[in-house]
Amino acid sequence: MKDQRWWLIGASEGLGRALATAMAAEGARLILSARGEERLRALAGDLDARALPLDVSDPAAVATAAEAAGPVDGLIYLAGAYWPMKAKEWDSARIETMLDVNLNGAVRVLGHVLPGMITRNQGRVVLTGSLAGFRGLPGSLGYGQSKAALMNLGQSLQADLRGTGVRVQLVNPGFIRTRLTDRNDFSMPFLMDPDEAAAHMLRAIRSGRPATSFPTVFSWLFRAGRLLPTPLWNRLFARS
């Protein structure tokens, strides 16, 4: 990554912040975006990176930021919104926010960045999914669906761009200790600190694999779970 230009969106907190720190140590030239301008600028100053404040839910702001960023070697989409929510607690505004930030925000950014990569026949796109995207889970309204759609988007891009110089990767983490997961009131198996998760993510990016899910053992449950009959899956997770 040395001297490569990478644009990280969702870089001011949690996994994004830890990943930016790790990539700066590798010598990457970083453009960092997030809504939290104060913390973003402080981080950019610490890492000798460029701060580009951005609200991905604002199409005009995305267009302006993409023009300001210019051509990049790589894009990592980490922006995320999350509230734990069950059907009996339905909140349309929050569900729409999760879908807009987690999925539509990525679509808006890709609409400005991907065409240039295709024209240059060169570039890397990394989309941050989630183990919660593999199959419907209790209490994951809005979030699980946004991540499932984002993962499907990445898979479609991989198929369409096969044989080109543009590589698309999916990285699907499990539970990471952040201000968002602090909202959970349930046990989170294999809970990782952001630095540990960033190390996993950096290895995944370096590997070039189309998709990486971690922690490995925990991810087996979700990947295998797609084969379970729906009543059994629901009984297991409703109980847990």
d(CA 224, CA 193): 25
Q: How many CB atoms lie within 10 A of CB 109?
A: 24
Query: By the 8 A CB rule, do 222 and 213 touch?
Result: yes
Query: By the 8 A CB rule, do 137 and 184 touch?
Result: no
Catalytic residue among 82, 134, 143, 222: 143
Q: Is 77 a catalytic residue?
A: no
Query: By the 8 A CB rule, do 50 and 24 touch?
Result: no
Six-digit token pair at 200?
A: 């996993």
Alpha helices in 8-104 (DSSP H): 14-25, 37-47, 59-69, 92-99
Query: By the 8 A CB rule, do 180 and 153 touch?
Result: no
Burial 185-205 (b: 16+ CB within 10 A, else e): eeeeeebbebebbbbbbbebb
Q: Give residue 224's identity as a one-letter amino acid code.
A: A
Instruction: Report the catalytic residues.
Output: 143
